[in-house]
Amino acid sequence: MIKVLITGAAGFIGSYMMRFLRDQSIEVVGLDNLSPLPKHDFKLHRLSSLNFDVDKIEYNVPLHADQSTFINLDLNDEKKLRNFFDNHEFDFVLHLAAQTGVRYSVEQPLAYIDNNIRAFCSLLECCKESSVKNVLYSSSSSVYGLSNSYPFEEDAPTHHPLSVYAVTKKADELLAHSYSSLYALPTTGLRFFTVYGPWTRIDMAVYLFIKAINDGTSIKLFNNGEMYRDFTYVGDVAKAIKLLMLKMHEDSQQEEIGVPYKIFNVGHEHPIKIMDLITTIEEALGKKAIIEERPIQAGDMIKTLANTSKLYKEINYIPDTNLKTGIEKTVKWYLEKCEKIYSYS
């Protein structure tokens, strides 16, 4: 049986991957420091939805549910992290723990340095001495920064980031390359393009728009809605990650030629205008949006568009969830799990 460590297991993509992999009989151990930054979110509720008894969470104490394990542990707690690796062997490490949010990184840059760069380095230090087949880690489309050469390709220059968040993601890619080069540690960077879906972060546009339209409050629409995002459904991301792991598992006996380091775009290849996103949510909710126009914010990119041909060549990746279907699933989750059960602000 394949055994996978997921960091950031109480986050949006991390919790989805916990459920997705364990439902396919893959042994999963999840770590998360349960940080509430940039503001209160619902990490405990995500864990509860995975059947973990969150009232029993203690620091560095394993919690079990449905053939998976969760541990509240900070990656920057180096002594305990090393002890954790001494007691576990993993086929793969899926590093999704990070301080997220482009705009908040402008206000609190040091939190991003600690949680995105230092924490990743701590993890790589442990992984280099383990038998892990590959460290897959989350990067971001934000690394493309000022580039206006569309679609974004993995070998395009990424020297002009627009936010501290983007800087930390680029730094992670460089760290991964150095560990792959120095220690022959296989690493795979995943440049995610605007991932959305059930249990999304509450500071993401999809959640904010759904909540505002449903509540009858105004939406802050930046740059007159003249921005495009390559919205990618979280289920498509999960399938891509699983296919990569399976291929790596099958290829693990083959000798690597050169530095064992790869980067892939993980997107949908169909950029959506923000106004079209709002229209799609309006149709799913059967309600109209109240628009409050605002100027573009510092750190925002005008457009993102992924070229995923490299990922297709690697694993035949084809995202098959269009925006209408993905938004309908997300709205259904919001109405059933968010609005009716919990009260979030």
**Closest to 268 (Cα-Cα) out of 194, 331, 332:** 194
Q: Is 262 helix (H, G, I), strand (E, B) or coil?
A: strand
Return the percentage of the chain with pLDDT > 70, whole number. Answer: 93
What are the pLDDT digits (tens) for 73-85?
A: 999 999 999 999 9
Q: How confident is the model at residue 40 (pLDDT cuts 50, 70, 90)?
A: low
Average pLDDT estimate for 30-35: 94
Cα angle vertex 344, ends 342, 345, to 5°?
Answer: 165
Lowest mean pLDDT across 131-140, 189-198, 244-253, 327-336: 244-253
Sign of CA dihedral 232, 237, 112, 151: negative
What are the pLDDT digits (tens) for 204-251?
A: 999 999 999 999 999 988 877 778 899 999 999 999 999 999 999 988
pLDDT at 344: 47
Answer whether residue 253 shows pLDDT above 90: no
Structural domains of the chain, with CATH? 3-200+232-269+304-322 (3.40.50.720)
Phi then psi for residue 70, to 5 deg, are -125, 140
How many C-alpha atoms does 24 have within 13 Å on its Cβ side? 14
Threshold 0.85, pTM exceeds: yes
Average pLDDT estimate for 145-164: 87
pLDDT at 299: 59
Average pLDDT over the chain, rounded to an integer = 91
Q: What is the CA radius of gyration of the chain?
A: 19
What are the pLDDT digits (tens) for 179-188?
A: 999 999 999 9
Q: How confident is the model at residue 5 (pLDDT cuts 50, 70, 90)?
A: very high
**Euclidean distance between CA atoms 230 and 334, whole angstroms:** 22
pLDDT at 345: 44
Q: Which residues are part of the catalytic machinery?
A: 165
What are the pLDDT digits (tens) for 254-291?
A: 666 789 999 999 999 989 999 999 999 999 999 999 99
Residues 6+ apart with CB under 8 A from 24: 242
pLDDT at 58: 97
pLDDT at 256: 63
pLDDT at 298: 64
pLDDT at 222: 80
Q: Please indicate whether residue 149 or residue 314 has the higher confidence score (pLDDT).
A: 314
**Euclidean distance between CA atoms 251 and 255, whole angstroms:** 9
Q: Please indicate whether residue 295 or residue 143 has the higher confidence score (pLDDT).
A: 143
Residues 6+ apart with CB under 8 A from 343: none
pLDDT at 175: 97
**Closest to 65 (Cα-Cα) out of 74, 79, 73, 54:** 54
Q: How confident is the model at residue 99 (pLDDT cuts 50, 70, 90)?
A: confident
Cα angle vertex 188, ends 172, 239, to 5°?
Answer: 120
Answer whether residue 54 shows pLDDT above 80: yes
pLDDT at 59: 98
Answer whether residue 105 shows pLDDT above 70: yes
Pairing of strands 228-229, 272-273: antiparallel
